[in-house]
Structure 1
Amino acid sequence: MPKKLPWFPIFVLLAFVLAAVFAPYLAPHDPMQGDLMISQMPPAWVPGGEPAYPLGTDEQGRDVLSILLFGLRVSLAVGFAAVLLSVAIGTPLGLLAGYAGGRLGELIMRLADIQLAVPTFLVALVVLALTGGGSVLKLILVIGVVGWANYARLVRGAVLSEKEREYVLAAEALGMSRGRIMFRHILPNVLSVILVQMSVDVPRVILLEATLSFLGVGVSIETPAIGLMIQRGLDYIYSGVWWTTVLPGLVLATLVLATNLIGDWMRDAFDPRRRAT
């Protein structure tokens, strides 16, 4: 039997998603407008802080809470959209490689092997560095396209175990086309494998986006992003301005932990080998 629903991680993730969606209404200040007269103001609960800036301000006098709310938008958008793009590319290729096989299947798998031989981080880093980094859309495209190989290989393996089952043989005997068999019959039976992999990849991509932004090749400096906040805050952490680094780091760690715990539950719930133990 699968473990009970991880209600607390689901609540945390839902709270982050809602905070990101309604960031323009929840943010107390413009995240990119600062006032040098109040730069590096500590959080409200620390002596010297003010209730108008609950989490303090950064070196440019911008509200940390407002930047975090809009930064969640970037992290979640890249995390989910890039993974969906990888699924959209890799799933049809994996279905084709597993069901049709032959030279086309071998070609797809060799391309996947080449892609998997180079770490996603390295490919994204080189591409973004050469193209100058920039927008959230570019991050989604680069990470999403690079990540297709995992899904192609995963789906191919699942299809190979499904294609000899009775329902597939019956569909072939009825003269159904390959496309209909793959997408109407086989795909629904391998969706659980795809969903489990997606739950694992979303937190990984969120961390990847933050790392690339930290290194200066992710989103542009005009975009509120958690990775950029941590990178800027490191210059001042030894002078006692800890909140511009620690608080974004805690938010990022909590977001990744919540999605990882949900992914663990999905793996236990959908993996038949785990359900049998």
Structure 2
Amino acid sequence: MNREFSPDSGRFEAVDWNEYDSSDAAVSLPRWLPATAVLLVAAFGYDYLSAGLPVAMDGLDWLLIAGLFVVGTLVALPVSQNPEQIGTYWTQFRTNRLAVACLAFLTAFFLVGLLGPLYFQEPRLNVLYSSQPPVWGSIDTMYVPQCYGPVVDGRCQGTWTFPLGTNAIAGKDMVPLLVLGTRTSLSVVLGATAIVVPAGIGAGVAAAEIGGHVETALMWLAEQLQTFPAILIYFLLFFWMVEGRLRLLIAVLGFVSWGGLARLVRNEIRVRRNEQYVQAAELGGVGSARLLGRHLLPNIAPSVLTNVALQVPLFVLVEVSVSFIVIAISGGTTTLGDPTNFSWGELIYNALFSVGPPAAWWLAGFPLVLLFLTVFSFNVVGDALVDALEPRSD
């Protein structure tokens, strides 16, 4: 009796089979992946062990590049293995119009965070023109030392010189401040991702492939780390970090956040090992290493991508929230935020404790809107990715 097999074109498991060589145990990864990884490691080593690259790079820049590489790999790896599926996924994703709009916003978020600092530098200090209104707004002259634009009926009018106004006290242009704050949030997102994804996948694969005491130890460690609040660990290490607080925060977020992903990867590998395409490959003599790299890892990439997308809002919120925690130090007080990097949280904190939102709403309003849209968009896109990349039969 003939049996027809109709693969589900909406899932990664519908793999276009290649001929298998039972003697080939190498992991079949796209050529660009190891080549790019080696190039990045070589560039990083050259930058830190020699005179440095022609373009100045610091630790945050390298974390951002590593995060871009990890995210790009998560997207490109399954697509390169089965490129005809991308139309299916996009068709499913675009049925959610809100998700498409949020994806457009996140695209702008990434572009502004990556390219904005190339154009916008730290704005100049201009105390006389502090609390200037945005171009379409106005403010009572009692709240500004000096009005840059015209004064009409006792209210200072905004100008195109400062299209979104200036902040309080320092009088810095809000546009560069918001752009540089976007770069900080993006650095946290990508930097933490660059730690979470390799650690989570590595631990999950080790637990699934080795099992036994190794699995027990890794899953116990993952569970314990998830019980520790990232802010508490950051606070405990804060006093030993004179510089580089943002890098410390990124490291802490990555360190405590990989446990859930490790469990997910372990469970996904075990489930997929019982599916027909894996069993057929094993019967064909495919080695474990090639099976893992050629089919299992590309097929769990959607689950990894959605897990990370849903964790990202927490990373952004934690980075913003540390700017609101004030602690006493010798000679005064400070927040847990990094004073060397502009942050949306810093803008909100300074606005609420200087002029105040009733008099100058834009000081806290603009960064709050960006924060809300970023967190909301990541949540919506993450949920939509679950529906598009991991369809489940009802």
TM-score of the pair, normalised by structure 1: 0.88
- Structure 1's 271 and 179: CA in aligned 2 closer, same or farther, altered over 3 A? same
Residues 1:155 and 2:265 are matched in the alignment: yes
- What is the CA deviation profile of residues 235-261 of structure 1, one whole-angstrom value per residue up to 9, with x for unaligned ones? 121662322112111111112222222
Aligned ranges 1:11-90 → 2 under 5 Å = 11-24=104-117, 26-27=119-120, 30-47=121-138, 48=156, 49-58=158-167, 59-90=169-200
Aligned ranges 1:185-264 → 2 under 5 Å = 185-215=295-325, 216-219=335-338, 221-236=339-354, 237=356, 240-264=359-383
- What is the CA deviation profile of residues 148-189 of structure 1, one whole-angstrom value per residue up to 9, with x for unaligned ones? 111111111111212233444444455655443333332122
- Structure 1's 168 and 125: CA in aligned 2 closer, same or farther, altered over 3 A? farther
Percent identical residues? 30
Shift in Å at residue 25 of structure 1?
A: 5.3
In the alignment, is the contact (CA less than 8 A) between 1:134 and 1:218 conserved in 2?
no
In structure 2, distance between residues paired with 1:9 and 1:98: 35
In the alignment, is the contact (CA less than 8 A) between 1:134 and 1:217 conserved in 2?
no
Structure 2: gaps (5+ residues): 1-90, 139-155, 326-334
- Structure 1's 120 and 178: CA in aligned 2 closer, same or farther, altered over 3 A? farther
Shift in Å at residue 115 of structure 1?
A: 0.9
In the alignment, is the contact (CA less than 8 A) between 2:234 and 2:248 conserved in 1?
no
In the alignment, residue 336 of structure 2 is paired with which amino acid? V
Q: Which has the larger radius of gyration?
A: 2
Q: In proportion to residue count, which structure has more strand?
A: 2
In structure 2, distance between residues paired with 1:238 and 1:7: 32
The 3-state SS of whatever aligns with 1:131 is coil
In structure 2, distance between residues paired with 1:133 and 1:240: 35
In structure 2, distance between residues paired with 1:238 and 1:140: 30
In the alignment, residue 348 of structure 2 is paired with which amino acid? I
Greater CA drift, 223-232 or 128-137: 128-137
**Residue number in structure 1 paired with 2:206:** 96
Shift in Å at residue 264 of structure 1?
A: 1.6
In the alignment, is the contact (CA less than 8 A) between 1:38 and 1:61 conserved in 2?
yes
Structure 1: gaps (5+ residues): none
Q: When the two structures are aligned, how many residues end up with a matched partner?
A: 272
- What is the CA deviation profile of residues 70-125 of structure 1, one whole-angstrom value per residue up to 9, with x for unaligned ones? 11011012112212320111101101102321111111111111112223343334
**Residue number in structure 1 paired with 2:291:** 181
Q: In proportion to residue count, which structure has more helix?
A: 1
- Structure 1's 129 and 211: CA in aligned 2 closer, same or farther, altered over 3 A? farther
Shift in Å at residue 271 of structure 1?
A: 2.7
- Structure 1's 196 and 112: CA in aligned 2 closer, same or farther, altered over 3 A? same
Residues 1:10 and 2:129 are matched in the alignment: no
- What is the CA deviation profile of residues 21-66 of structure 1, one whole-angstrom value per residue up to 9, with x for unaligned ones? 2324554xx4342111111212221222222111111121111111
Residues 1:270 and 2:389 are matched in the alignment: yes
In structure 1, distance between residues paired with 2:242 and 2:92: 46
In structure 1, distance between residues paired with 2:274 and 2:209: 10
- Structure 1's 83 and 129: CA in aligned 2 closer, same or farther, altered over 3 A? farther
In structure 1, distance between residues paired with 2:283 and 2:357: 71
In the alignment, is the contact (CA less than 8 A) between 2:351 and 2:357 conserved in 1?
no
In the alignment, residue 21 of structure 1 is paired with which amino acid? L
In the alignment, is the contact (CA less than 8 A) between 2:228 and 2:256 conserved in 1?
no
Shift in Å at residue 132 of structure 1?
A: 5.0
- Structure 1's 176 and 74: CA in aligned 2 closer, same or farther, altered over 3 A? same
In structure 2, distance between residues paired with 1:129 and 1:140: 16
